[in-house]
Structure 1
Amino acid sequence: MNQFIQLFNSNSLFFIIPSAVVIVALVSLIIIRFILRKNFRLMMEAVAEDHDLKRAEVLAKFSLERLYKKSSRIVEIARKNDVNLPRILGLSDLWINRYTEKKSKNLQSWILEFAPDQGLYSIFLRALDHKKTAQVLNQFLDESTDFLKLRRIALSGKGELFDGEKGLLLFENRLDEIREMTGDQEWAARYFAINILLHDDDERSLRAVWESFEDSHSLIRSTVVRDIPIDAKAFGAEGSEKNELYEKLYNLLLNDPVYEVRKSAKDRIVKDFLSLYSLTLESLNNEQILHVLQLLDTESAEDQDLALGILAGDDLELRQNAARYLQDCAVLNRLIRESYMNDKQQLERNYDLLNKALEVNVTGFLNEIQSNNNRGSLLLASRLLKKAGPQEAIDNLADRVFAQDISQKVDVELRELYKNTLECVHQRGSDNAIALMRQELLESKDHPEIMREVLHAIPVRGASIMLPVLESFLKDPDFPLKDELRKVLLTMPKPDVQCLVMDIIRQGREAYSHQVRIQALKILGEMKNASCLQIILENLPILPLEEAREFAGMLSAYSEKLFNERVKSILDSIDAQSRAAVIVSLPATGKKTFLKEIREALDDANPDVRISSIWSLVEYKETKELMRCVNMLRDPVDRVRREVAKALGTSGSPAVLKDLEALLNDENEVDSVILGVIEGLSASESAASVEILVRKIANDDEYKKDCIRSLSGKKDKKSIATAIELFKDAGPQLREDMTTIFKLMGFEGEQVMVELLKEDIPSLHHYIAEVLESTGFVENHIRKLKNRSSAIRQESASFLSAIKTKAAFRGIVLAARDPNKEVRIEVTKALEVLNTEEGTEILKDLEQDPDKKVRKYTFWAMERLRTKSLD
């Protein structure tokens, strides 16, 4: 016992205990490993006995990666139990994948033993470059009992590409078997065989290869196309082998249904038969042309020209393919990039081609304008984007066009670009484009002609972006385009707009100017909301009487019963301004319910009510009542007399006009009444009103300028024709005064006179021409014959041809050599007059003109006119 205690207390104990622990651990590990191996073996044997039931349990417990690490044990158990455990467990697929990476001998052996039908192709590919693997594979094939041994290799693959020439060396002793495989029903077997036979010069092999041009599988056809030797003679064919092969390739290029085969045929033709390759589209059907289009070379200028010709055609399917090719090779981008304003013919040609592409939904070229400031390019884009194209392109277009300075925006040549851009944003623009339009609207505030166009283009969908700006314009009493602004606001969401204008009206004059409240009331009325009728009627006095009269037409849209009740209430009220506003508004409704009240109002104590009543009768065309109103020309209030005179003049009945003329010549009448009569006569549609005013001009210096100004506003055809008739018989001073009238009529009056000339009224022609010459019209249009715009030159030539005076023809002959055909056509029409008896005298004067250039051009033009070769 003492010895034991002594041993326990000795230092050696510190070495014995750790050693014992290690020994125990090692023994435990050995036992555990033994148990695990035994359990794994039992599990594998269970799978071997009943793999349907046990397979899932194993795979739930072991991943394929773990099973792969136990491949040797699985193979051992599989051999022992004569069961293909690797296939049952799905391990063979992993073997094949790893063999492709590692080329392991064990894996190779296991694949050949347990998974040849899946892995033979991988071993075959290895054998092409590895002698020992080739020996193993050939030994396997020799030992195989299959009738077509190589067929197993082919079917174990999926048509993967391999080196056929190396395959021929590997199986040079098995060519008979390979040739038999060319008739196999499985395409993989045929592909395997043909890929090898392509490199064999035996006639039987070549025959099989040529027959494979007709194989049902595209991979085989494309393989033959790609690899058949250039000198391979067709079986039984006569003549040039090269031409025979080219014909086969050309036929596949045009007619094969598979793109891969057609592509291979085209590549082979380009490589070996380019000198023979030629296309004549007229001899091809649509399907063949489509096949050609799909294979065009993006670098070939000839192919690009071919596609452009097809794009210009009418067939949508062909155009679509041509357009996509031209898009891919950036030809469409070049067309839009290289379009210039100074080459109209090229510009239109490019537009037609690009529009053709757009019609088949090819639009990528429109992104070209993202970095392009060329005006011609932008113009084409603006015309195209109205129809289709990416919204981003509209953003880019708007960004570039709106960024130009005002001088460019009002330039005649750029008007179309600017208007098109606005239309693009209106029809299809994104929120970003609308935001750019908003900025453009703000920046154009000092340029009404630009702002007007922007306002018209604001889209309804842009309300949330545009309304704050439109509201600021509405609240600005000096905003210049009030009518346009109202129209735009009426397209915006009604709740938002109604809330805005009601707020302005309710806050009244303390918050907003009179002009702003007028605008708000007009908008509210035009919204035609029955719930707002009372506030509209009560606020009519905001409007001047003339505007109230124009405004009231919209009131007819309201319920007649409700409208009558509210009107009757106001007419019975004490407020004169409200009564006047309602009375003057009633005719626009088309309802005569309150005619009795209007007649009674002619005697109202308030001047504004009397004025509104007389204008209402004019609008109602109550002629008999107006006859009784002549005595109101003696109303004690000047402005009433003046308004009565204007109203009676507007009515235009002969009896009333007679009374007005008497009043006009009354030396005791005050100025305001006389001026009112003149203004009324200017509004009259009667020819007699023109005669009255001309007589006043001839006899009176005091009101001559007023009458001249009044007549200059009468630009309708009947009034101008009457004035010309009076001009014929006028004395020198009156002619001079009437010439001033015609000059004041401006361009609008001149156009009416040209229309009268074209009607060829003999009694007026000479005098109209005389008037136009005296106003400077002829001289102005002669100058326009030098304008850079062909449209302006053509318009001027057309005007001058209608005048038929020496001065007009003097300008026309100078345009005989105009570069624009349409201008020359107008010149031809005009010069034909000089070949008549009527034009002989003018022609003689032109031929003797002091200006040598006029004489020369006259002679040149007439000589070509006689031979009909001016164009």
Structure 2
Amino acid sequence: MQKLTKQINDSNVEIRIEAVVKLKGRKQLSCIPMLLKAMGDVSWRVRKAAVDILFEDYSVEQYIEGLIQLLYIEDNAGARNSAIEALIRLKKKATVFLVDAFKTPNKDVRKFIIDVLGEQMDPRSLQLMLDALRDEDENVRATAVEHLGKRGEPSVVNALIEILESGDLWTSYPAADALGRIGNKKAIPHLLAALKNKPLREPVLKALGLLADPSTLVHIIPFMEDTSRNIQELALKTIEIFYHKGVSADLITGEIRKILGNKAMDILIAHAWSNKREVRISSILLLGLMKDEAAYGPLLDISHEEEFSEDVRNALVFIGRDNPASLLPLFDTDNTHRKRFIGEVAEKIASPVYYDVLEKMIFDEDGHVRSIAAIGISVLNDPRVIGKLVILLTDPYEDVQEAAVDALSNLKTYLDKPKLINMLKSENPLLRKNVIRLLGKINAVESVNDLGFALKDDNIKVRKAVIEALSVIRTNEAVKYLTYALTDENPDIRISSALCLGMIKGKNVVDSLIILASDPDNSVRVAAAKSLGMLGDNKAVKPLIELLKDKSGFVVATAIEALGIIDGNEAKGAIIGMLDSGDNEIKRTAIISLGSFRNVESTLIPFLRDNDWAARIAAVRVLGRMTGADVRTELEKLLDTEEDPTVLKAVEEILRV
């Protein structure tokens, strides 16, 4: 024992942990003081091992007093934290002992005990928690209030109400918060009474917001005119919470109008320009709920601020849905930003009253306006606009073309597919490209052969569009044409078709992709390897292993990833062989890819101490998903030796320390 005592004090962490482990299974009372001492060790591994042995070899009664004594050590946070964690881990087994230990003059220990009991939520500790509300130390009282609030037990409401009305601000403040979190309506009249106490208005308003009782709005709304700007703002945020908790907008705004009258809009508009983000959001929301057209101007002015544009948009939609025509005058503007913004609002409201103004905007000089108008008018489901949207397929701006494709796809029920297919003969490559994209988007199966013929188009963008469309349609015939595209003269087309075939898991395409794996273009070989991995066919293993000799590191890394997806012993052996690569990126890829295989722990553990920090973190994350005891031990060791903060954080997250 003397030797073990000496070893537990050794400067070498490995010797200390070995000494602690040797205490396991002895089950002698003389070992308990040594284990308790080890709980104050600087190493988390030593502390954890000591706790585990105590829990496994001894009854609670044999070590609980020593565990509680660790709470008194002021100069060793590790010892205190270990004791607190151990006590929490004991759950209800510790309750009786902690209740008795609370009878101490040490205020810090009393607070620690309340923290532990608060986490355990054992009903047997409830009376002590209530008694702690009257503790002489303010920190103990506040901690008790906080934990009682978390419990959410109605049985503590009366005690919290008593504290709220006690006049002790230090505990009344968290008591109000706790009453809000518990959610018992019994607290409402007492919280309303507490509103008369200025220092308590902040926590009380927050609590009333959590309770969200509509009858209390009449008491909250007047604070929108309070002399304190902070309280005004808090009242606004509280009313916003009422709305989010399901109180009707009409009830909220009806009370605001009744109490504040014509001043309501002025108050809300003023706060909408607050320098506090959350206050502005509350005000903008309430301006929308008020459904007052007087809000249009200020809201549109705020819409220029990107941070609040979505909130303003939602507010305008709320007003506009109630009266869509009220927004029509706002379209009459030369301000491009405003036109764009109102167009987006109109799209969300989707009222037929906007058809004429949106149709006019389709030909606006601003490309963004044209795009927004195209989408906005398409959701009206009116086929009259189809001809005009087809014109936008040849717009000089690509984003407008894309919007036109999306808009026309929204109207697919009314589209004349034979007419669209005939447009593939157009001399305008923009029209051909975008009609092809549209045919794919609407899943026009009848167009597959015509799309296949378009693979001969001399315009590469048209051919790329064909690949995209065929990968959406996904019929056997579509897969056949995608396979043909693997031989296209342009590497970009070969890449696109290869990736699409892998993504849609095309049948009978493995051989073609294997041939592509020897393409002279590096990026094409990468695409071939990636697709072979996605297909998961064992037939691809040998060709992928051949790619591990490729001159391009990118190709090699992709081949490793593909082998990791396909699985199997042959693939596993090939990846293990790449761990010796002098290229750190390839080594890291191999480590990560081995994560999908079994029985690789012993292969990966040495990389926890690799010179490359990124290789170490890769090994940590892969091993962290494995459950072996050896793996956890090695990760725990890393806590004492790892110097890189990123790697250390990853280990701590996995071990949850």
TM-score by length of 2: 0.50
Larger Rg: 1
TM-score by length of 1: 0.39
